[in-house]
Amino acid sequence: MTASLDEIFSKFEGKEEELIPVLQSVQHAHGYLSKETMFAIAKFTRVPESRVYGVATFYAQFRFTPIGENHVMVCRGTACHVRGAPRLLEEIENQLDIKEGETTKDGKYSLETVACIGCCGLAPCIMVNNKVEAKLTPKKAAELFKKEK
Amino acid sequence: MSFNEIRQRAIKKWEDLQQGKKPLILVGTATCGRSAGAMEVLDALRKVIKNHNVDCDIIEVGCIGMCYAEPLVYISKPESPSILYGEITAGKVEELVKGDILNNKPLCDYALGTVGDKVLDGIPKLFETPVMKPQVRRVLKRCGFIDPTDIDHYIANSGYSGLEKALKLKPEQIIEEMKDSGLRGRGGAGFPAWRKWQFCRDAKGEQKYIVCNADEGDPGAYMNRSLLESDPHSILEGMIIAGYAIGATRGYIYCRAEYPLALERLHLAIKQAKEYGIIGNKVLNSDFNFQMKIKEGAGAFVCGEETALIASIEGERGMPRPRPPFPAISGLWQKPTIINNVETLSSVSHILQNSASWFTEYGSEKSKGTKTFALVGKVKRAGLVEVPLGITLKEMIYDIGGGVLDDKKLKAVQTGGPSGGSIPANMIDIEVDYDSLNQVGTIMGSGGMVVMDEDNCMVDVARFFLDFTQKESCGKCVPCRLGTKQMLEVLDKITEGKGEPQDIELLDELCEAVTKGSLCGLGQTAPNPVLTTIRYFRDEYEAHINDKKCLAASCKALMHFEIQPDKCIGCQLCVKACPVNVITGEKRQPQVIDQAKCVKCGMCFESCPTKIQAVKKVPGNFVEKEEG
């Protein structure tokens, strides 16, 4: 069961400066920020809804549509780039038959790119549900997603 | 309990662990270790130990920096030298435990080196090996040797003794000590730390703040992540000292959400420090009160800029504002605020634990001390290193890094991330310090160092960084918002083979406008990757534009694949791999690519066995050879 909004809000005081942590907690529990939750957050923090949207859309972390069961993030940091991340992304897009930023039709996978995971020593790497897969090749990536398809 | 009693107890606990009768096994489980399978190794170790009824301690430690050899396991036994083993996968654990622990036969093949005074035949001393010898590990001293989740380990290794000393000094004396150390900000710009503190100390205000900038956003850099995960208390200690020196009673750590493990360890570290009376009212029984909070970043590179970071902590869009007023005068909630980088604050704790003169033992005239770098990209031994400032780039790449991957030719080294530039291979005798790097058009930055070889296209590298800065531009000021976009469009055009002769000049003009006209550091430095690549690799730009050739055969529109008939053995692996079925030929005969239909996906290149390497990347588009 996901935590209700009231449960999440009870951990905060409803101050303006808590807006980002509140957004983070809600997204963490619900997976994304729906129209209804955005309205509730605005009410709770007493920040106009327009500004809540303004803040939420500014940061890359927040999303407004549900994500798939498995969250795939391809690192596009410099070390990964020079060691072949673009080819890797292309191959994963091929295997899952979606583009970056999309979710598969069956809702199993969401594919995103991220600025840097910070595993540059083991580049190129991707993160699947918070677990890092390191030193990938397009071949290994194909195997990783082929079995699941 | 007094701090002295806490320390005595911690030292006793540490010594019992180190000099006990049981073997001690350390497993590096920082993020890089985990991604190489350290958690599986840990599970396997626990199982094997249980199966063989071995009495020993297993501890999770942070990262020693040798990422290329992860997962790392360190075994220390009474009466024999401690050994660091590399590339220990779960499958090798049984062999390792049986060999090293049960039969007392170290496994030389997996050993990276021994630690301590005792020596072993066949295994070098770890700190005498080429990767470690040029390094001076000070900030990283404890990383990989202490349990970052246990405050006692930190205290037993002179942790919080710097704070203890600082609280007996006057704030002015601490700033004086910082001045003597010559410590410059480790976040990139290199502003003297003491001067910033002095501004804030002198600023009027009841409430002041100290903020730790742990929003390490440079793609290709992870020094701060590793330090936060491996030795979090050293940063807390530095922050409390800084707070005392400038008169701040509140501290914020702004850490990026992409570092879940670092955040977890920071939360735990703060909890432990509170329990020991190190954070809270009456720090270490003095009259000084200090509170600390963590703020999670939400994925915006621009928040590394101090005024944008402040806006983000206040709950706003992370957009910078003009300076002055500088945050040291008017920062968080318009109160005097100091923002220091993770490594700067960790260095502060080390300087106070030792002394300013200890700090200046290493470094060059204007750049004192040591600096951590993430040495990554096309280098054999990628990892986190700490070197004295003034070391040459050559030593870093060839001695520590072991040279270029697959012995290819070095092309360039990129420092300073999207704000820095590329240094060409013929300049690698340059000394690594703030001023020398500035002179050649790049910056030291926070410590990202990406090695590039002959297969990397420098125009593509410039395009890559502009793609990044253009996406991360907050959009507040016009030169950055539109200028980076225009630059990216020109670079896209060039890499797609549609470049025109006037494009280089156009880029130069745009660079000048964006540098001079942008509001914050993000825009002001965004042109650096373009400027340095034009300066040092103009031939590559010209080849793209005039000859329609990517000399590195990396840009898809300006290269093609060929199968070399003299090398191809006709195994037809490429035929099976080709997604568009355009490779044909008889079995055991050389294969041919139908260039007109080839989509240049590179599957044939990747599928060709490494021993054969018959598929070749060729610069320029395919041109049919004239018959006869």
In order, the DSSP letters of B576-624 are: HH-TT--EE--TTS--EE-TTT-----HHHHHS-TTT--EEEEES---P
Could you give the percent of chain B with pLDDT greater than 70? 99
* Same domain for B502 and B436: no
- State mean pLDDT over B482-494: 98
User: Residue B369 burial (CB < 10 Å; 0-12/13-18/19+)?
Assistant: buried
Tens digit of each residue's pLDDT (9 = 90 or more) over A77-95? 999 999 999 999 999 999 9
Q: Domain boundary at B547, B568, B595, which?
A: B547
User: Residue A50 burial (CB < 10 Å; 0-12/13-18/19+)?
Assistant: exposed
With 50 as the cut, is the pLDDT of residue A149 above it? no
Shortest Cα–Cα distance, A75 to chain B (Å): 9
Kindly state whether B245 is in contact with chain A, defined as any CB-CB distance less than 8 angstroms.
no
What local confidence, expressed as pLDDT, does residue B184 receive?
97
Chain B residue with the nearest C-alpha to that of A19: B315
Strand ranges for B297-369 from DSSP E: 337-341
Collapse the DSSP code of B47 into the 3-class scheme (helix H, G, I; strand E, B; otherwise coil) and give the result. Answer: helix
* Same domain for B331 and B221: yes
For chain A, the helix, strand and coil percentages under 3-state DSSP, each to the nearest 5: 45, 15, 40
CA-based nearest residue to B466, from B488, B444, B446: B488
Q: Does residue B343 sit within a domain?
A: yes
ipTM: 0.91
Query: Tell me, what CATH number does B438's domain have?
Result: 3.10.20.600
Q: Does residue B423 sit within a domain?
A: yes
Domain parsing of chain A, residue ranges: 5-58, 70-146
Tens digit of each residue's pLDDT (9 = 90 or more) over B342-373? 999 999 999 999 999 999 999 999 999 999 99
Chain B residue with the nearest C-alpha to that of A55: B317
With 50 as the cut, is the pLDDT of residue B459 above it? yes
* Nearest-CB residue to B222 (from A21, A76, A118): A118
- At B61, phi and psi to the nearest 5? -120, 180
Chain B residue with the nearest C-alpha to that of A75: B219
- At A120, phi and psi to the nearest 5? -60, -25
* Same domain for B411 and B375: yes
* B528 neighbors B441 (Cβ within 8 angstroms): yes
Mutation pick from A13, A18, A63, A120 vs chain B, by most beta carbons of B within 10 Å, is A120
- At B136, phi and psi to the nearest 5? -125, 105
With 70 as the cut, is the pLDDT of residue B572 above it? yes
The encoded tokens of residue A75 equal 């690192």
Q: Domain boundary at B317, B337, B359, which?
A: B359
Using CA atoms, how far apart are residues B250 and B267, in angstroms rounded to an integer?
Answer: 16
Q: Does residue B340 sit within a domain?
A: yes
* B229 neighbors B184 (Cβ within 8 angstroms): no
Shortest Cα–Cα distance, B37 to chain A (Å): 9
Q: Does residue B624 sit within a domain?
A: no
Chain A partners of B376 at a C-beta cutoff of 8 Å?
Answer: 78-79, 120-121, 123
Collapse the DSSP code of B227 into the 3-class scheme (helix H, G, I; strand E, B; otherwise coil) and give the result. Answer: helix
- State mean pLDDT over A113-129: 89
Cβ pair B300:A60 closer than 8 A: yes
* Same domain for B166 and B269: yes
* Nearest-CB residue to A121 (from B383, B603, B607): B383
Shortest Cα–Cα distance, A114 to chain B (Å): 9
- State mean pLDDT over B574-588: 94
| The dihedral sign for the CA sequence B526, B531, B533, B539 | positive
- State mean pLDDT over B24-51: 95
B343 is in which domain, residue-wise?
160-359
Q: Which residues of B220-234 are buried (b: 16+ CB within 10 A; e: fewer)?
A: bbbbbbbbbbbbbbb
Give the DSSP letter of residue A103. Answer: B
What local confidence, expressed as pLDDT, does residue A2 receive?
63
- At A74, phi and psi to the nearest 5? -95, 125
Distances (CA, A) of B207 to B249, B254, B329, B335: 7, 19, 12, 6
* Same domain for B573 and B523: no
* Same domain for B434 and B286: no
* A22 neighbors A44 (Cβ within 8 angstroms): yes
Q: Does residue B105 sit within a domain?
A: yes
Shortest Cα–Cα distance, A35 to chain B (Å): 19
* B402 neighbors B131 (Cβ within 8 angstroms): yes
* B144 neighbors B72 (Cβ within 8 angstroms): yes
What local confidence, expressed as pLDDT, does residue A115 receive?
84
Chain A partners of B295 at a C-beta cutoff of 8 Å?
Answer: 20-21
What local confidence, expressed as pLDDT, does residue B140 receive?
97
* Same domain for B444 and B403: yes
pLDDT mean across residues, chain B: 95
Give the DSSP letter of residue A135. Answer: S
* B74 neighbors B82 (Cβ within 8 angstroms): yes
* Same domain for B171 and B71: no
Shortest Cα–Cα distance, A36 to chain B (Å): 20
Kindly state whether B420 is in contact with chain A, defined as any CB-CB distance less than 8 angstroms.
no
Tens digit of each residue's pLDDT (9 = 90 or more) over B380-416? 999 999 999 999 999 999 999 999 999 999 999 999 9
Query: Tell me, what CATH number does B52's domain have?
Result: 3.40.30.10
What local confidence, expressed as pLDDT, does residue A119 receive?
87
What local confidence, expressed as pLDDT, does residue A148 receive?
53
What local confidence, expressed as pLDDT, does residue A1 receive?
44
Tens digit of each residue's pLDDT (9 = 90 or more) over B234-267? 999 999 999 999 999 999 999 998 899 999 999 9
* Nearest-CB residue to B376 (from A76, A94, A120): A120
Cβ pair B298:A62 closer than 8 A: yes
Residue ranges of the alpha helices (H) in B182-293?
Answer: 193-202, 223-230, 232-246, 260-275
pLDDT mean across residues, chain A: 91
Tens digit of each residue's pLDDT (9 = 90 or more) over B91-132? 999 999 999 999 999 999 999 999 988 888 899 999 999 999
- The string of DSSP letters for B136-163 reads --STTTTTTTS-TT-HHHHHHTTTTHHH
Using CA atoms, how far apart are residues B594 and B603, in angstroms rounded to an integer?
Answer: 14
Collapse the DSSP code of A73 into the 3-class scheme (helix H, G, I; strand E, B; otherwise coil) and give the result. Answer: strand
Chain B residue with the nearest C-alpha to that of A21: B296
Query: Tell me, what CATH number does B488's domain have?
Result: 1.20.1440.230
Chain A partners of B377 at a C-beta cutoff of 8 Å?
Answer: 78-79, 82-83, 120, 123
pLDDT band for position A116 (cuts 50, 70, 90): confident
Name residues 497-556 of chain B within 8 A of A (Cβ).
Answer: none
Using CA atoms, how far apart are residues A128 and A109, in angstroms rounded to an integer?
Answer: 10
Using CA atoms, how far apart are residues A90 and A87, in angstroms rounded to an integer?
Answer: 5
Q: Domain boundary at B530, B547, B564, which?
A: B547
Tens digit of each residue's pLDDT (9 = 90 or more) over B589-617? 999 999 999 999 898 998 999 999 999 99
How far apart, in Å, do the first and last CA atoms of chain B sit?
A: 94
Using CA atoms, how far apart are residues B517 and B519, in angstroms rounded to an integer?
Answer: 7
User: Residue B622 burial (CB < 10 Å; 0-12/13-18/19+)?
Assistant: middle
Chain A partners of B67 at a C-beta cutoff of 8 Å?
Answer: 119-122
The encoded tokens of residue B404 equal 């270029």
For the beta carbon of residue A39, count every other beta carbon within 10 angstroms: 12
Count up the domains in chain B and report the number.
Answer: 5
Chain B partners of A79 at a C-beta cutoff of 8 Å?
Answer: 219-220, 374, 376-377, 382, 450
Whole-prediction pTM value?
Answer: 0.94
What local confidence, expressed as pLDDT, does residue B258 receive?
85
Tokens 């677990």: give the residue: A131
Kindly state whether B221 is in contact with chain A, defined as any CB-CB distance less than 8 angstroms.
yes
Shortest Cα–Cα distance, B239 to chain A (Å): 22
Cβ pair B222:A116 closer than 8 A: yes
What local confidence, expressed as pLDDT, does residue A147 receive?
54
A-to-B residue pairs, Cβ atoms closer than 8 angstroms: 153
- State mean pLDDT over B438-455: 94
Using CA atoms, how far apart are residues A14 and A3, in angstroms rounded to an integer?
Answer: 18
Architecture of domain A70-146: 3-Layer(aba) Sandwich (3.40)
* Secondary structure (H, E, C), A4-67: CHHHHHCCCCCCHHHHHHHHHHHHHHHCCCCHHHHHHHHHHHCCCHHHHHHHHHHCCCCCCCCC
Q: In the beta sheet, which residues pair with residue B82?
A: B115
With 90 as the cut, is the pLDDT of residue A130 above it? no
* Same domain for B95 and B200: no
Tokens 């707070």: give the residue: B243
* Nearest-CB residue to B35 (from A20, A82, A132): A132
- The string of DSSP letters for B377-398 reads ESBSS-EEEEEETT-BHHIIII
* B228 neighbors B255 (Cβ within 8 angstroms): yes
- At B207, phi and psi to the nearest 5? -105, 130
Using CA atoms, how far apart are residues B245 and B251, in angstroms rounded to an integer?
Answer: 13
Lowest model confidence (mean pLDDT) among A116-130, B180-194, B234-248, B469-483: A116-130
Chain A residue with the nearest C-alpha to that of B315: A17
Phi-psi region of B417 (alpha: psi -120 to 50; beta: other; left: phi over 0): left
CA-based nearest residue to B114, from B74, B56, B68: B74
Query: Tell me, what CATH number does B611's domain have?
Result: 3.30.70.20
Chain A partners of B301 at a C-beta cutoff of 8 Å?
Answer: 115
Cβ within 8 Å of residue A140, ≥6 positions away? none
Using CA atoms, how far apart are residues B112 and B65, in angstroms rounded to an integer?
Answer: 13
What local confidence, expressed as pLDDT, does residue B626 receive?
56
| The dihedral sign for the CA sequence A84, A90, A93, A98 | positive
CA-based nearest residue to B411, from B527, B528, B551, B545: B551
Collapse the DSSP code of B50 into the 3-class scheme (helix H, G, I; strand E, B; otherwise coil) and give the result. Answer: helix
pLDDT band for position A29 (cuts 50, 70, 90): very high
Using CA atoms, how far apart are residues A117 and B31, in angstroms rounded to an integer?
Answer: 9
* Same domain for B264 and B211: yes
* Same domain for B584 and B436: no
Tokens 């253009």: give the residue: B470
* B229 neighbors B269 (Cβ within 8 angstroms): no
Kindly state whether B416 is in contact with chain A, defined as any CB-CB distance less than 8 angstroms.
no
* Same domain for B264 and B338: yes
What local confidence, expressed as pLDDT, does residue B628 receive?
44
The encoded tokens of residue B81 equal 């030298």
With 80 as the cut, is the pLDDT of residue B530 above it? yes
* Nearest-CB residue to A78 (from B219, B225, B257): B219
With 50 as the cut, is the pLDDT of residue B445 above it? yes
Chain B residue with the nearest C-alpha to that of A119: B32
Mutation pick from B450, B600, B601 vs chain A, by most beta carbons of A within 10 Å, is B450
Shortest Cα–Cα distance, A62 to chain B (Å): 8
